[in-house]
Chain A
Amino acid sequence: MGIEYKLNRLDTSGVGPLVDRHWRELREAKEKGQKIAWSSGPLFIYAYATPNMASHFMAGYAAYCGGRGMADEVLEAAERYGELRDTCSYHRLHTGMMAIIRKGWPISDERVVLPIPDLLIAGRFCTEMSHYMEGIHRRFGIRAVTIELPVCRKNEDRPRVEKYVTAQVKDILIPAIEEVSGSKFNEENMREIFRKWKETCIIRNKCWEFLKRKPALWTMWDYGVSIAPIFYAMGKPESHEYYVNLLAQLEERAAKNIPAVHPDGEKYRLYWDGWLPWAFLGKFIRMMGPHGAIPVTGRYPWEFFPHPEDINPEADDIVHEWIRLLYTSPNALAYHDGPWGGEEHVEKLLQDYSVDGMLFFSSKTCRLWNLGQQEIIANIERKYGIPGVVIDGDMIDSTMVSEDQIRTRIEALLETIDARRR
C-alpha cells in the first residue's frame, strides 16, 4: 500500500477579513468623497500614496472575484455586454463588472461590485492591461492614463527603458493623479509605505526559508493566498501582523517537526509558472496533494519584492525608486516576466528550492507567460534534467479549465520524475 499523503495547511484565515476590509474601504472612500483609481500593472503605488485617492489593483480584483466564486457570473455579464471569449479574462471581468453597474443587472454577491472609478491607470506592462482601460474609457468616459512599461528583452536594455518609464511617470502619471485627486502626490507617504513594506517583506522572506527546507513546512498555495496582505495592505499594520503570525506558526512547526505534507513530508517538490488559478486553487491542490506533490516556488508569486533589502525608502528620488525596482534592481519584475529574464529567474528558483519538476500554467486568454514556456521547459530539461509540463487553463474562467486534462498532465509529470529517480 502506498503512503496516504495529506496536507497540513497553515492557518491563512486572516487573509479573508483583510481583503474584505480593503474592498469595503474602497467603497467607503467613494462615499466620503475621495477619488478612486483603478490600476492595472505595478503603477498603482502612485495613486496609493496620494492623499484623497483610494486605489484598486485590478489583478487583485480578479483574485478576489475568483476567490468569492463569483467570476463566472461576472464573466457572463461581460459576454452579455458583447465581450468576446478569446479576450483576456481579467479584461472581461472588469468590463463585466462595469456592465453590471451600468445596466443595473442583479448579482448574487454585491461585494464584487466596486465603485465607479475617477481615474484609470494602465501600466502597459502587458498590452492588454491598456486595452481594458481603453474599453472602459470609451464606454464610460472615465479618464485613462496609460504608461508604457515594456518587459525587457535583454539585460542591457533595462537602464534605458527604466529612464523612459520614469519620465512618463513624472510627466504624465503624477500630474494626472494630482489633477483628479485634487491633492499633491505625497513623497513622504510613499517613503512610509516603503519603510513598512520592507519590514513586512523581510519577515515574509524568513517564511520562505521554510519552503526551501526539505521537507517543506508549508506550500506555495498557502503563500499564494498570503500575497493579498502584501499587495492590498501594502505598508499597513495589518499586513505586518499577518506575516508575524505566519512566521510564528512556521517556527512552531519547525520546533515540533510538522511538515507541510503528512505523514513525513512531500514526495515531489514542484515549481509553478504563471498566474495562480485563483478560482480553482482548491481544485488544483487536490490533484497534487494526494500524490505527495506540492508547489514550493513559482515565478509570479516570487515577484513581490523578493529582495526587500533592495528597497530604499530614503532614496533621493523616491518616484524613480519604484521604477528602479521594476527594471534595474537584481530582481527586476519587468525583466523576469519576459521569457529571457524569466528563464534565468526560473533556474535560480529551481536551485534555491530544490525542485523535482515544473508545472507551467498557461492561460488560454493571457499571453504574458505562455509564448516562451515551452522553450523554457526544453532549455531547463536539457540543462538540469528537471522535467516540466504545460497545463492549459484560465485563472478564473471555468469554461476554459478541463479537470481531466490537468489531472493527466500532473500525473504524467509525476511519472516522469519517478522514472528519472529509478
Chain B
Amino acid sequence: MEEIMKQFVEYPSDPYTSIAKWKENHKKKVIGVFPMWIPEEIIHAAGMLPVVMWRSNEAITWGYKHVPPYNCPINKSVVDDVVKGKLKFMDGMVFLRQCLQSQEVPFIVENNRPPAFEEYLYLPPIYHGDKASKDFTRDEFEKLRKRLEEFGGEEITDEKLNESINIYNKNRSLLRKLYDLRKQKPGILRGRDVLRIVWSSMLMPKEEHNKLLESLLSELEKNGYEPTKGKKVFLSGCLCIHPQLELLDMIEDLGMVIVDDDIYVGYRYFANDAEITDDPIGALMERHFIKTPVDPARGEIEVNWGKELVGKVKKLHADGIITLLTKYCPPHLCYYPDIKVELADAGIPEVLIEVEHEIISLEGIKTRLQSFKEMIGGF
C-alpha cells in the first residue's frame, strides 16, 4: 500500500522533474493543457502525453510583471512558470476560452516563451445546447486533431481516438470507484492522498495510472477499515487548481472527514465519460455538453449548482459543505451568493474558504474551520 502511494505521490511532489524525466525516458512529446475542458484524449491519440497545467509550488515573482495580482491563481501561476522557463520541457500547450482570464494567458505565453506547438480552442458554454454551438465545438476539436497530426507527423485515426477514449474512460471509472469507496468508508484515505491520486492522473500517463489504481483499489478492499467518527463534509468548488494539502490536513485534524467533492482536481475531472462510437470526435463534443456536475464557467442555466449540492449532501448524509473558492475566479464568485442562499434554505451548514496561489493565512482559515466545526456539532 505504502509502495503504491509512493508512486502516486511522485508526480504531484515535483511535476516539473517527474514529467521531464518521463519525457527523457520515453522520447515522446509532452503537451500542457490548460484546465478545465480540453479533451486530452485527442492529444493522447496523437502519441503524446497530455498534462494538465497546475498551480506551481513556489511564490509568484516574475509573473507579476505580466499579470496583475487580482487575477486568478492558475493564470498567475502558469504565466510565472512560463516566464521563468519552468515549463520549457513542454513541447506544446493548448489553451481555451472558458472564461475571460483563460482566454488571454496565451498572449502572454506567446510574447515570452512560445512553445513549439500551440493551439487555442474557442470552447463555447452550453446554455442552449444548440446546433450551432455543437457544430462549432466539433470543428474546434477537429482543428486540434489536424494541428496535432501536422505537429506529430502521424494520422490520428478514429480507431486511435477510440482507444484513447477507452483508456481515459477506464481511468475515470476507476477514480469513480475510489470515490464510491470513500463514500462508503469515509476516512479510508486521507484527503491529501485522494487529492494526490487525482492530481497524479492529470500528470502521468493514464495507462500507468490505471495500473496503480487497480492495485490500490484491490489493496483497499483487502485492508480492514475502522469507521471514522469525524463529521462528514463535502468539498465544493476550487476551479482549475488543487487546494493546498495543508488545508485538507487541517480539515481532518479538526475532526472532520471529507466524504466527497465536486472540485476540479477531484470529481469534476473524471465525472463524465465519452462514448465509444464510430464518431469519436462527436462523442467528445457531446461530452462537452453534459450539464452535471454544474460548471459555473459553462453556463448551465437549467441545472442549479446549489440544488445539485443540496441533493448530494442529503444523499451522503453529510454534515456540511466547505466551499473552496479559487480567489478572483469570476464564474464561481458570481454563482456563490445563490449557492449560499440555496444551502441556507435547505438548512445545510456551509463555510467559505478562499484558495489563493499561496496560503495567505493558515491561522485565519483555521479559525473559520473551527467555528464551522462547532456549527455542525462537536468541539
The answer, yes or no, to whether B216 is at the interface (CB within 8 Å) is no
Q: Which of B155-163, B202-210, B246-254, B332-340 contacts A (4 or more CB under 8 A)?
A: B332-340
CB neighbours (8 Å) of A153 from chain B are 103, 106-107, 120
A368 and B71 CA atoms in complex are apart in Å by: 11
**Known contacts A168-B130, A171-B132, A371-B67: A87-B108 contact under CB 8 Å:** no
Name the residue on B nearest A339 (C-beta).
B107
Nearest chain A CB to B100 CB, angstrom units: 4
Q: Which residues in window 83-98 of A have CB below 8 A to B?
A: 83-84, 86-88, 91, 95
The answer, yes or no, to whether A375 is at the interface (CB within 8 Å) is yes
The answer, yes or no, to whether B230 is at the interface (CB within 8 Å) is no
A419 and B304 CA atoms in complex are apart in Å by: 57
Q: Is the CB of A86 within 8 A of B333?
A: yes
Q: Which of B17-25, B193-201, B323-331 contacts A (4 or more CB under 8 A)?
A: B323-331
Nearest chain A CB to B69 CB, angstrom units: 9
Task: Bits for A141-167, please: 1 = Cβ < 8 Å to B, else 0.
Answer: 000111010110110010011001001
The answer, yes or no, to whether A81 is at the interface (CB within 8 Å) is yes
Q: Is the CB of A131 within 8 A of B334?
A: yes
Name the residue on B nearest A130 (C-beta).
B299
The answer, yes or no, to whether B117 is at the interface (CB within 8 Å) is no
Nearest chain B CB to A61 CB, angstrom units: 17
Q: Which residues in window 357-398 of A have CB below 8 A to B?
A: 362, 364-365, 367-368, 370-372, 374-375, 378-379, 390, 392
**Known contacts A127-B331, A128-B334, A370-B68: A138-B304 contact under CB 8 Å:** yes
The answer, yes or no, to whether B124 is at the interface (CB within 8 Å) is yes
CB neighbours (8 Å) of A367 from chain B are 71, 100-101, 104, 330
The answer, yes or no, to whether A132 is at the interface (CB within 8 Å) is yes
CB neighbours (8 Å) of A132 from chain B are 334
Q: How many residues of A contact B (CB 8 A)?
A: 54
A146 and B133 CA atoms in complex are apart in Å by: 11
Name the residue on A nearest B297 (C-beta).
A127
CB neighbours (8 Å) of B340 from chain A are 82
Nearest chain A CB to B303 CB, angstrom units: 11
Nearest chain A CB to B144 CB, angstrom units: 14
The answer, yes or no, to whether A280 is at the interface (CB within 8 Å) is no
The answer, yes or no, to whether A195 is at the interface (CB within 8 Å) is no
CB neighbours (8 Å) of A145 from chain B are 127-128
Q: Is the CB of B330 within 8 A of A150?
A: no
**Known contacts A144-B301, A164-B132: A371-B104 contact under CB 8 Å:** yes
The answer, yes or no, to whether A308 is at the interface (CB within 8 Å) is no
Q: Is the CB of B128 within 8 A of A372?
A: no
The answer, yes or no, to whether B187 is at the interface (CB within 8 Å) is no
- Which of these, A87, A127, A378, contacts B100 with CB under 8 Å? A127
The answer, yes or no, to whether B136 is at the interface (CB within 8 Å) is yes
Name the residue on B nearest A81 (C-beta).
B337
A342 and B68 CA atoms in complex are apart in Å by: 18
Nearest chain B CB to A124 CB, angstrom units: 7
The answer, yes or no, to whether A306 is at the interface (CB within 8 Å) is no
A-B contact pairs, 17 of them (CB 8 A): A84-B337, A86-B330, A91-B334, A130-B125, A131-B334, A134-B299, A138-B301, A167-B131, A171-B131, A362-B68, A364-B70, A365-B70, A371-B107, A372-B104, A374-B68, A392-B68, A392-B70
